[in-house]
Amino acid sequence: MSDLRAAALEWLAQDPDPDTRAELRAILDNDDREGLSARFGGRLEFGTAGLRGELGAGPNRMNRVTVMRAAAGLAKCLPRGGRVVVGFDARHGSQRFAHDTAAVLAGAGLRPQVFTHPIPTPVLAHFTRVFDDVVAGVMVTASHNPPRDNGYKVYWSDGAQIIPPTDAEISAAIDTIDRVDTLPLGSGWPTLDTTDLYLDAVASLDLGPPDPDLSIVYTPLHGVGRDTLISVFERAGFGAPIVVPEQADPDPDFPTVAFPNPEEPGALDLALGLAEARGADLVIANDPDADRCAVAVPHAGGWRVLTGDEVGGLLAEHILDHTTGSDRLVATTIVSSSLLRSIAAAHGVRHTETLTGFKWIMKAARPSDRLVFGYEEALGYSVGDDRGVLVNDKDGITAALTVATLAAHARRNGHTLLDLLDDQAHKYGLHTTTQLSIRATDPAQITTTMSRLRTKPPTRLGGRTVEEFDDLADGINGLPPTDGLRFRLSRRARVIIRPSGTEPKLKCYLETITPVHDDVTTTRAHAATDLNALRTDVAAMLSGAPPRSG
């Protein structure tokens, strides 16, 4: 404990933030050993997603010292004189962290340029890509994490998130930084006060005409997407969406939702209620930094929220119907639905699967490929036209516009998005997916469970035989090794299990594929029963219990 106290005192001496100094002083004065250990017993690791964690004092929290050390490490890996674009969302501390980053970068001989106002993450990714002299981008955001969190994402000059070995090189450089109060700091950097380059690029996507009469309810979930999305829709020829008033303004406390994630139960309740009251045609939601997009449609007197895989399949077909060329590539992750493979084959284009995360999707193209669409089941989509994808990361604004364009196209032909889903089921088989997450109070539980499943994998799940078992840590089909397990089951089913990269939990991805011989509604009911049986057995397997469904 004396070592932790010494580390805390050293931290106090260099911390420029009066709030975290007061927090740490109180912990020391109260001899709060648990609080001290939580903050100084470890540190936030810099990886391919940058940094993300709870706000507070110490190396295991997001704070000004952590951010300044990260910026100094990043600066060591960049060419002197290069331009770095810095953006931030509306979370607690984001703007301060952005300006601390700029000060450190400027002091290290780089040329930071900081947005004057909160922006969506895809705007930062786009600006990083379009300027020849930009060597990196930094986005201060924790995306859809709880209000107490913040984070720090790094983009390279291609506008994509960093991947190994760049992340390890930056992490090693961060480790060489001593005290931040000795770092040279710059001032007076230029700013960016407009996002017109991004707005014009999105509005110019050539994927079909708009429908100004399409009625859309939209929620930014207290995030930063509203103004950007409304501007894009109006420039593209759509009417302005109806914004959920309680969630319209940026608010770092996210007061109307338990978790500011459109995938979470209840997160879309206000939007769905407003859509029902207004008789809307479509509901669209972004997460707080607007890099993800959720969709809901009218169904059987109520509303149905589409899964990320369903939206991914619909967008893929629409984009391939509106683009040309044998060099086109569509990409997704190994945990997303296998439907994309069938769609690509039907359109005569190449398809590939990557590890989880958009950083890998954006590296999937060969020199001869033109990536026109990439997606992951967690509501992330990168949309393009014949020019290729617009943003080299997931982009909830561009995805929202493309969903509206697709809905307009279906409406002109007397169809709905649900009709299009039924059409795909008839053509490719009904691909039904779901997820299961098991949160751990102790991260060691995750390691223990993964080790147990590697040593003794199941032979049956959901009444199906496990026909193949792949340990993704060995690297398969040319993919880099990763901590994950894949089970291929009889009658075209699949289960993948992996630890979350941002939270202490195991994530499971389940898929069944059912041929549609006649009525798709009946097939959906049977598929739901099969998927629930599979989900029940996977949950039992993770708890150490035997399968329950035969």
Give the residue numbers annotated as catalytic, written as ranges. 143
**Strand ordering across the sheet containing 350-354:** 350-354, 328-333, 370-376, 380-385, 388-389
- DSSP characters over 203-264: HT--S----TT--EEEE-TTSS-HHHHHHHHHHHTPPPPEE-GGG-S--TT-TT-SSS-TTS
Distance CA 202, CA 120 (A): 13
Burial class (CB within 10 angstroms; exposed 0-12, middle 13-18, buried 19+) of 247: buried
Angle at 27 between CA 23 and CA 33, to 5 degrees: 145
User: Coil, strand, or helix at residue 87?
Assistant: strand
Distance CA 468, CA 399 (A): 35
Terminal CA-to-CA distance of the chain, rounded, Å?
52
235 alpha-carbon distance from chain centroid: 26
Q: CA dist 110 to 107, 183, 212, 405, 436, Å?
A: 7, 14, 45, 41, 44
Nearest to 282 by CA among 295, 292, 293, 273: 295
Strand partners, 382: 374
Find the Cα–Cα–Cα–Cα dihedral 51, 52, 57, 60, rounded to 10°: -70
Angle separating helix axes 308-321 and 339-347, nearest 10 degrees: 10
Q: Are 192 and 116 within 8 A, CB to CB?
A: yes
Determine which helix (DSSP H) or strand (DSSP E) holds 36, and give its type and residue range: helix 33-40
DSSP state of 190: -
Using the structure block, give the residue that is written with the tokens 């629409």.
318
